[in-house]
Structures are given as C-alpha cells and as structure tokens.
Amino acid sequence: MGVFKTRGYAMRKLLLNSTALAAAATLAATAAMADVSISGSTEFAYSSRTSDIAASDGTFNSTDSEIAFKFTNKTDNGLTIGYTMELDGDASTATPVDESSISISGGFGTIVLGNNDGVGDNYGMASDDIIAEESSAGAPDSATIRTDSDIALGINDNAKVIYHMPAMGGLTAGVSFEDSGTSAAANTATDTTSIGARYTTELSGMTILVGGAAAEQETAVGTASTATNNMGVKITRGPITVAFASARTKSDDEDISASGAAISYAMGDGVTVGAYTDSSEDDLDAGEKFSINGVELQYVVAPGLTAVLNHDSYDYTAGTSDEATSDKGSLTKLTIKAAF
C-alpha cells in the first residue's frame, strides 16, 4: 500500500505542477497580447524673478516630473483598447495620479473615458505652443486675467467622456463632456462641454496647421455661463516656424480678449532660438490688462537631455479689478529637461 500511496502522491504533484505551468503559460500568452510601454520625463528649473510684489521677488527652484504607463491590446474584431496612467513625480503633488483613462478605437474613431484633458487641449492652439518652456511669470495668482492665448476651460484632468472622429484628409476633430456631478446648492452644476478641430495642409513648401476650440461651463441659474474659445495658426517652412493665436473668455463678470505671436528658428547642431509675445485685457474690469515678451534659447545636449534658457518681461495693470494688485517685472529661467 505504501508504494501505491507514494505513486499517488507523485501523480498528484505532477498534475499540480503541470496545472501551474499551464496557468503560467496562459498568463504569459495573455500578457503577450498587450503592448506595454513605460516612459518618463523630468525637469529642474532655477528661476530669478524681479517683481513689484515682495513675495514674488527673488530666486527659486522648481521641478516637474512624470511617469507614463501605456497598455494597448487589439481585439479579434478589430478594436484597439488602451489604458494610460500618468504619475506626477513631484513631492509637493497632493494627487500622484495625474491622468488615468481607457480608450477604445476603431473605424468609428476613438472614445476616451476617464481622467484626461478635454479636446481643447488637443485641438486648441496657443502661439507659445512652439516654445519649449511656457513662461511662469505674469499676473498674481489672485488675478483672473489671461496670460496666454490658449483656451481657458476643459483642459483639466477631471473625469470626462471624449470622442475623437476619424481623420479625414488633414482634418481632425473631437468633443468632450465633463459631468461635475451633484451639488449641495441647487442649480449650481458646472458641467463643461468642449469641441475642437484642426486642419493641416501643404502649400508652396510650407506646412500650415490651423486649429481652434471652444468650451462652455454651466453656472448657477440666473448667471451667464462661462464660455471660452481659441483659434490659432502655425506655419512651418524649413527651420522656421511662426504661430499666431487669439482667445476670448466671457462669464458673468469677465470679458477677456487675448492674442499672441511666436517665432522659432532651428539653427542646427541642436540649437533653437525663439521669441514670443502675449497680451490680454478685460473689458468688464476697466484698465485691467497684461502683456509679456520673451526670448528663448534651447540646446539639445544629447538625445533625451535638453537645456532651455528663457527671459521674460511682463507688465500687469489691475485697473478696477479688486482681485489683485498691479505688478511689473521680469523672469530669467534655466531649465534642464530629460526624457526617457
């Protein structure tokens, strides 16, 4: 009987090992069906700012880091399913998960569900989009004036439903909806709907990209909804790229118009220079306006490693706005960027 017990134990052990190997093979085959990519970026900046506001005057360091995990799987019926999660690597960030969304793509286009930017971020065009480092100098945080020519709503990472239509020639477009949920106060939901489109064409040796977006956010009953729109054009010919853009934001107590222009020139050997200007004013706060002018030098030290030097001069006039005080100054910033 001992021989039979020993043999029975051996058979059960062999069966268990075979089952474990089969399960591991199945998991490996399932994992192999999905394409996985991991990428990261980080930058460190040293800034020196002059300002009429004592709390803003001086030097400071800042960081901006991110890790992205992307999973892609193609189904038997031709759909492409993706999942993206981006982690913010800065210690000061309260919420480490920056974006997390699922995408479903096919002949109908792409549907994105989850925490991701609205379509205004995909299709709207600011003039300084062609500049490597957007300025962090400008109006005080308490001011509501615009400091660039970008769209002003729907570009956060709140949960949304997003649809991108299939490209038709050089035309792409999309729409997104953000449901703000219920509110303790009646009729104060701030649902946001955004639309956007871009068109690319070639003309006389130039690549021309035209884009624009619009968004509207609901407000309490009895007050006007907040609406914003943006339109821009980018023209590239050889090493030179120029961009122009305008934007407008209207709400119950704001009517802000903004415009901007920028130029970028790739000199070769990893060196690119640029210049940019933006200005805005609020028609409902008499005299409130903002302007900024800047230059940039970008140098690719090695693949994946870039140094960027910016110098900006800005001027903010509060006018009749009671939200902030006037400020005038400059910002010089050196940024070291790495991508992996």
Token pair of 216 as six digits = 């509207």
Query: In angstroms, rounded to a whole number, what is the distance separating the alpha carbons of residues 338 and 287?
Result: 42
Q: Give 107's contacts (C-beta < 8 A, 6+ positions apart).
A: 78, 166
Residue 130 domain flag: yes
Token pair of 39 as six digits = 């990428």
Residue 5: what pLDDT? 40
Total structural domains in the chain? 1
> What's the burial of 247, exposed, middle or buried (CB within 10 Å: 0-12/13-18/19+)?
buried
**Which range marks the domain in which residue 210 is found?**
34-339
> What's the burial of 53, exposed, middle or buried (CB within 10 Å: 0-12/13-18/19+)?
middle
Residue 192 domain flag: yes
Q: DSSP character for 122?
A: H
Token pair of 286 as six digits = 């008499």
Residue 3 domain flag: no
∠ at Cα 287 (284, 291), nearest 5°? 110
Under a CB-based contact definition with an 8 Å cutoff, are residues 312 and 293 in contact? yes
Residue 313: what pLDDT? 95
Q: What is the CATH number of the domain that holds 105?
A: 2.40.160.10
Under a CB-based contact definition with an 8 Å cutoff, are residues 325 and 288 in contact? no
The β-bridge partners of 43 are 64, 337
Instruction: List phi, psi (to 5°) of 14.
Output: -65, -40
DSSP code string of 1-61: -HHHHHHHHHHHHHHHHHHHHHHHHHHHHHHHTEEEEEEEEEEEEEEEEEESSGGG-EEEE
How many Å from the N-terminal Cα to the C-terminal Cα in the chain?
A: 64
Stated as kind and residue range, the H or E segment containing 335 is: strand 327-339
Residue 137 domain flag: yes
**Alpha helices, H only, the chain:** 2-32, 119-123
Residue 300: what pLDDT? 97
10-residue block means of pLDDT along the chain (340 residues)? Answer: 41 41 42 80 95 90 93 94 90 76 96 94 93 79 82 87 96 94 62 95 96 89 82 97 96 90 97 96 90 97 97 92 84 96
Residue 29 domain flag: no
Query: In angstroms, rounded to a whole number, what is the distance separating the alpha carbons of residues 82 and 103?
Result: 5
Residue 212 domain flag: yes
Q: Give 80's contacts (C-beta < 8 A, 6+ positions apart).
A: 72, 73, 74, 103, 104, 105, 106
Q: DSSP character for 93?
A: -
Residue 16 domain flag: no
Our CA dihedral for 13, 15, 20, 22, rounded to 10 degrees, sits at 160
Residue 162 domain flag: yes
Residue 3: what pLDDT? 41
